[in-house]
Structure 1
Amino acid sequence: MTRQQLIKSIYTIMENSLAMQTLSSFHEDARLNEDLYMDSIMVLQLILHIELDIGISIPDEMLVPKDFQTVGTLVSFLEKLQQAE
C-alpha cells in the first residue's frame, strides 16, 4: 500500500469501525490523543482493525508510544512493517 492508501484506510477505519466524531480534525499531522481524542482503548481498537481490515500484522513487542503520536507517525510505522514483510 502507498502512504496515501494507508492514510485513507486509517480514515475509513476511524469513520466506519470506530464511529469517531472528531474526523473533521483528521490530517497527517493530527495527534491521535490531543486532536482526534483517541484514548488507549480506541488506539488498541484501531490496531486491531488495521490488522484485520488492512492485513498488516503488528507484533505486540513493536508497539511503542512514539509511533502512535500522529496519523503520520502511525503511517510511517505501518510502512516500515510492510517493508519488513
Structure 2
Amino acid sequence: MGEISVLETQHGSQLYTIGIQTYMTEVGVYLIEKRTLRVAWNIRGLVNSLIRKFDIIFDNNYGFKTPPPRVSDNMKTQETPP
C-alpha cells in the first residue's frame, strides 16, 4: 500500500514539473512575441519618420515631379489565331 502512494507521489511531482516547464515555455514565447512586436513598432516609427523627411525634402524641390505612367501601344490585347 505504501508503494502505491510513493508511485502516485512520483507521478504527481513529474506532472507538476512538466506543468511548470510548459508554463515557463509559454511565458518565454509570450516575451519573445512581445519583444518582436516592440521592434516592429519601432521600425514602423522609423519608416514613417523617413517618409515625413522625404516629403519635406521633395515638397521644397519644385523641379521634382513623379513621372506619369507610360502606356505602351504594344500592350494591346490581341486575339489568338484559331
Q: TM-score range by the shorter chain?
A: under 0.3
In the superposition, the TM-score normalised over structure 1's length comes to 0.21
Using the size of structure 2 for normalisation, the TM-score is 0.21
Higher RCO (CA 8 Å, separation ≥ 6 residues): 1
Structure ID, larger Rg? 2
In proportion to residue count, which structure has more helix? 2
